[in-house]
Homo-oligomer: A and B are copies of this chain.
Amino acid sequence: ADIVVLPGDGIGPEVTAAAVAVLRAVARVHGHRFDLHEHAIGGAAIDASGEPLPAATLAACRAADAVLLGAVGGPKWSDPNAKVRPEQGLLALRKGLGLYANLRPVQPHAATLGAAPIKPHLLAGVDLVVVRELTGGIYFGDKTRDGDGASDLCAYSVAEIERVVRRACALARTRRRHVTSVDKANVLETSRLWRDVATRVAREEFPDVTLEHQLVDSMAMHLLAKPRAFDVVVTENMFGDILTDEASMLAGSMGLLPSASLGDGRAGLYEPIHGSAPDIAGRGIANPVGAILSAALLLRHSLGLDEEGARIERAVSDALDAGVFTADLSPYRAATTAEMTAAVID
């Protein structure tokens, strides 16, 4: 299988290296062959070629079976008024590969509840997946700026909503058959459309799945007050961005969480949900678990290697159970990236 690796910026290269080491171990043990090719994206690509998503990178990703990404961005390129920004590379890649469904599972691990700001009794049994729409909404609408002001357009087509809701409902069928659709239908026209389309898709195509609606502001509350109430959560791009970072606090650390971005095409994109963390970059202390679990999702979703994916997930659990914690999880027992990776591979 052809896998493109996009290390990106900050801690991106460190955590993708860890995930690659785990993939190589899986290949060795299970007798698979993974052809791994590194390409540039984000700030690193701007430095090398002036472009956040070089054409060669996009072409390689299009031809690959799957893409594993670290993170993009950092203070070096962070002038928000710069013409070219690292984040543009990531957004263009998501759009270019048609990856409209971003799956972000949150399953707090017993061993790391201590690191979560949420009370442990609320977290036992939490097992949710946010399906965030990833190629539409205010992220990609027309933007304007002049001396007096600025604007961003949030637009959604019926077809864009249908396909991501379908993906969420299909996922719910493999789980507890419950979908929570999040919008702001009491204020936004796109949300009223979202609610109509979600209701119709669920009723006509997934009568066996229960659909409930939540306003985004209430959801920001319920996610903390009763996280066990959720199975699959589906929402538009901007709300999904905010709610998944919030939901990461249920797991104790953003550093633990993986994501899979899927479309109807061939290649999926797999990345930890954390950013490039420039403050700790280059020090070998980043938590590689989010990237390693992203590699597990890659094996499952893009290569059909469910068993191998599950094996990685078990190995991560075992390492955490054994008390191997990076600094984000415990300041006292701070394992390095390499130690954590070695513990998982063992």
Binding site for B on A (CB under 8 A): 73, 78, 80-81, 85, 87, 91, 117-119, 122, 138-139, 141, 143-145, 147-160, 184-193, 195-196, 216-218, 220-221, 224-225, 238-239, 241-246, 248-249, 254, 275
A152 touches B85 (CB 8 A): no
Given A117-B224, A245-B220, A189 and B156 touching (CB < 8 A)?
Answer: no
Instruction: Give Cα A91–Cα B226 distance, bound, in whole angstroms.
Output: 29
Q: What's the nearest-Cβ distance from chain B to residue A129, in Å?
A: 18
Closest 8 pairs (CB-CB, A-B):
A149-B157, A143-B189, A150-B193, A151-B155, A220-B246, A217-B245, A80-B185, A80-B192
Instruction: Give Cα A192–Cα B245 distance, bound, in whole angstroms.
Output: 21
- Give chain B residues whose Cβ lies under 8 Å from the Cβ of A151: 141, 153-156, 189-190
A150 touches B221 (CB 8 A): no
Given A143-B189, A187-B91, A80 and B148 touching (CB < 8 A)?
Answer: no
B221 touches A145 (CB 8 A): no
B139 touches A80 (CB 8 A): no
A189 touches B145 (CB 8 A): yes
Q: What's the nearest-Cβ distance from chain B to residue A29, in Å?
A: 36
| Residue among A87, A147, A159, A221 facing the most chain B CB atoms (10 A cut-off) | A221
Q: Give me 5 other A-B pairs in contact (C-beta within 8 A), A150-B155, A152-B189 excluded.
A: A80-B195, A87-B186, A150-B192, A216-B242, A218-B245
Given A139-B187, A158-B148, A221 and B193 touching (CB < 8 A)?
Answer: no
Q: What's the nearest-Cβ distance from chain B to residue A16, in Å?
A: 21
Task: Give the residue name and chain of the B residue nearest to A216 (CB).
Answer: B242
A154 touches B152 (CB 8 A): yes
Task: Give the residue name and chain of the B residue nearest to A246 (CB).
Answer: B220
Q: What's the nearest-Cβ distance from chain B to residue A254, in Å?
A: 7
- Give chain B residues whose Cβ lies under 8 Å from the Cβ of A160: 149
Instruction: Give Cα A151–Cα B85 distance, bound, in whole angstroms.
Output: 26
With beta carbons under 8 angstroms apart, the residue of B119, B143, B148, B152 that contacts A119 is: B119
- Give chain B residues whose Cβ lies under 8 Å from the Cβ of A159: 148
A192 touches B148 (CB 8 A): no
Q: What's the nearest-Cβ distance from chain B to residue A147, in Å?
A: 8
A192 touches B145 (CB 8 A): yes
With beta carbons under 8 angstroms apart, the residue of B148, B185, B217, B246 that contacts A224 is: B246
Task: Give the residue name and chain of the B residue nearest to A227 (CB).
Answer: B117
11 CB < 8 A contacts A-B: A80-B186, A85-B186, A119-B119, A139-B187, A150-B156, A150-B189, A150-B190, A152-B153, A216-B241, A218-B275, A220-B245
